[in-house]
Amino acid sequence: MTRRELALIFGAGALAGTAQGRMWSRSVQPGVVGLAEARAALGKPLGPETARLAMAGALAASVGAESGVEAAAAMFSPKDIVGIKVNCLAGKFLSPRVELVEALVDLLAEAGVDRRRIIVFERSNRELQRAGFTIREAGPPYRCIGTNNDYDREPSISGAIGSCFARMVSTTCSALVSFGVVKDHDLSGVSAGMKNWYGVIHNPNKYHDNGCDPYIADVARYPYIRNKLRLTVLDGVIAQCHGGPAFRRGGIFELGMVAASTDPVAADLWAWREIESERARRGLPTLEAAGRPVRFLATAAKAGLGIDDPEKLLLVTA
Amino acid sequence: MSIDRRKLIVLGTAGAVATLHPPLLRVAAAAQRGSSAAGDELPAREASWYKKLEEGRVECELCPQACKVADMERGMCGVRENRGGTYYTLVHSLACSIHTDPIEKKPLFHVLPGEKAFSFSTAGCNVECKFCQNWEISQFRPEQVQAYNLPPERLVAAARRNGARLTAATYGEPVVFWEYVRDVAIAANAVGVRPTVVSNGFIKEKALREVLPLLSAIKVDLKSFRDEFYREQVRGELEPVLKSLEIIKEIGVWLEIVVLLIPTLNDSAAEVRDLCAWVKAKLGPNVPVHFTRFHPTYRLTDLPPTPVASLERAWKIGRNAGLNYVYLGNVPGHPGENTTCPGCGEILIRRVGYRILSNRLFNGSCPDCKRKIPGVWS
């Protein structure tokens, strides 16, 4: 399906009232994942134009907007402090590309969010730097910092987890973006947008048994995340179908896609599907057969976080 | 000045270090300036108990969690990391909490009464008790707490300077820093300081057997006698802990057991009876069992403190079961803190909290009926 077809389905008026971003919740599209092509070889950057086109295309496609800026305005308010959580665990070759993240920052800025109110963050400065980001405590052109162990003083309880959340998500930011990659994980099966939120709790090591289930959903459904999450973006230019979560050269493949969705479960469902496709192409067993079934998506869907039914997954190309 | 509780703990321990010796003070000050931000590379030593798996993964063989850990990931304890197929401990010699306590605080009531124990801990734990009293260090990763580089020899030297005849690996969970425990014990034994451990006993047999002979005493928290409790409240298992207790008994290291009684969760008469019967049958009547009072904390804040009546009921059950040394804890001034001779019934050691009011033991025996009282008395 194309973006224009999606706009027809949702109605032209769906986004009309959101141009200033005040009605962002009206733009939530369960099950819809916007996709745009973006191709580059491992270790090679995307050109700025390519990155911009891909980011804007995926964003617009995810909500049926005319442009990436319009989509951003539908999701974020100029009053927001927007936190973009990037997953940099796997280092330079398998972290969100700087050029894609900066393309998103540009779209947010053009949609009216002050650049000083846009914070790209990860657990530590070191992880950001290893992935190619430059630490910018105060900007410009945007802030880029590690949370560096600045956690709430008391644990928050959510289902099976009891964790101190990074103050970046509990206190500082009013709106959040999960910016992950498409990769295999040796315990949860898939690490894309939802597992990225393990990076905002102080004790992720406690919650890796049973395929990280129900813990991934329990983190994501805590109000700090659930009430603030506006967008999930997945850098699938280079993806990894085996050997994750660390970078493993033998497991990577050129997927050549960027995905965006207001539905975090649907975004991960798409990532899962792509990983399974590549594994099948290589003759590898399914993730379930490999002993790491992706359980957390069903739990997340039951918690009302999004759509995990493949029949209801709606992929919209830019 | 804004400060959180974790930093307060560290400042408190830094103060404790400061009173010990100027060089340690400098270590503490340097550690604080450095701040253990996640961006800093933690010192790492190859772990002693693990095996390599295919594709760069490892399996930890230290505790029954038996974590299978991929490259760049850590085990459940949060202090052991796979780096390129080699498993490392990140906390050897990285003490985040240091203090000189009376040995009664551990509690080890039958070990050198009234003596000081130089107590230390690192970050991390291999379980997650919802009622953890030390969660601000045990449930954090090493880069999330401030810590001091305190190698075993320097730790033991500090203990001696401070007049401590014992060391105690405690506060957090020594199992997760077992290599450090081992090396401190070796250094302590070399100079006549007695090493002790306060643990959950959730450890694999091989690792336990390798270190036990180095220890003078160990206190184990038997958190419940029901596996369901272990799984739901602790995220561990009962059976490996019972196995550890039997191994400790077999090796002959002095053992005391603490049971934290939590209202409605593990304080039923039936469970206490089962526990006491097992201790007597498997470990013998002379292993001290301490029933201690729970206070709401961490994730278990919706329950009241344990009623004293529940503790007294457990005390009575233990004695009726034939256990010779049953104590009550966290109830200062209660007669259940005293050591009584099982032969003649006279009070041998009178305690209030962690203080010894009187000690009538003579050469480890009751001065009245001459009965030998088991323990480490000299």
What digits encode the pLDDT tens for the residues A62-100?
Answer: 999 999 999 999 999 999 999 999 999 999 999 999 999
Calculate the average pLDDT of chain A.
92
The pLDDT, as a whole number, for residue B30 is 31
Which tokens sit at A88? 């940099």
The set of residues, in sequence order, having a beta carbon less than 8 Å from that of A28 and lying 6+ positions away, is: A262, A263
Q: What is the pTM of this model?
A: 0.86
Pair B182, B214: CB distance under 8 Å: yes
Query: Alpha-carbon Rg of chain A, whole angstroms?
Result: 18
Spatial contact of A253 and A278, defined as CB atoms under 8 Å apart: yes
Confidence of residue B231 (pLDDT cuts 50, 70, 90): very high
HSE value, Cβ hemisphere, 13 Å, CA-based, for A106: 16
What is the CATH class of B115-121+156-338? Answer: alpha beta
Q: Looking at per-residue confidence, does A26 or A242 come out higher?
A: A242
| Closest partner CB to B38 (pick from A148, A186, A209) | A148
Residue of A nearest to B139 (CA): A203
Q: Which amino acid is at A98?
A: V
B160 touches chain A (CB under 8 A): no
How would residue A3 be classed by pLDDT, with cut points 50, 70 and 90? low
| CA closest to A154 among chain B residues | B298
The Cα-based distances of A176 to A143, A166, A170 in angstroms read 14, 13, 11
Distance from CA of A40 to the nearest CA of B (A): 25
A161-163 and A189-191 beta bridge pairing: unpaired
Average pLDDT rounded to a whole number, residues B205-226: 98
Instruction: Give the CA count within 13 Å in the CB-facing half-sphere of A130.
Output: 20
- Above 90 in pLDDT, residue B39? no
- The reply to whether residue B143 touches residue A244, judged by beta carbons under 8 angstroms, is no
Q: At what angle do helices A68-75 and A98-110 cross, to 10 degrees?
A: 70
Q: For tokens 């580089």, name the residue.
A: B149
With a threshold of 0.90, tell me whether the complex ipTM lies above it: no
Q: Does B182 touch chain A (CB under 8 A)?
A: no
pLDDT in tens, B333-361: 999 999 999 999 999 999 999 999 999 99
B235 part of contact set with chain A, CB < 8 Å: yes
pLDDT at A26: 46
* CATH fold for domain A25-317: Rossmann fold (3.40.50)
Taking the domains of chain B in order of start, what are their residue ranges? 115-121+156-338, 339-378
A207-231, pLDDT tens digit by residue? 999 999 999 999 999 999 999 999 9
> What pLDDT, on the 0 to 100 scale, is given for residue A27?
65
Nearest CA in chain B to A157: B299
Residue B23 has pLDDT above 60, yes or no: no
Report the percent of chain A where pLDDT is more than 70: 92
Measured CA to CA, the distance from residue A155 to residue B129 in angstroms comes to: 13
DSSP string, B265-295: TT--HHHHHHHHHHIIIII-TTS-EEEEE--
Contact at CB, B38 and A126, closer than 8 angstroms: yes
- In this predicted structure, what is the pLDDT of residue A29? 85
pLDDT at B295 over 80: yes
Mean pLDDT of chain B: 90
Beta bridge partners of A229: A176
In the predicted structure, residue A9 carries a pLDDT above the cut 90:
no
pLDDT interval class at A10 (50, 70, 90): low
**Predicted local confidence at residue A15, as pLDDT:** 47
Residue B268 pLDDT > 50: yes
The CA distance from A234 to A214, in Å, is 22
Is residue B6 predicted with pLDDT exceeding 50? no
Q: What percent of chain B has pLDDT over 70?
A: 89
**CB-based burial label for A138 (10 Å; 0-12, 13-18, 19+):** exposed
pLDDT tops 90 at residue B159: yes
Pairing status of strand A229-240 against strand A257-261? antiparallel
Counting residues of chain A whose pLDDT is more than 90, the rounded percentage is: 89
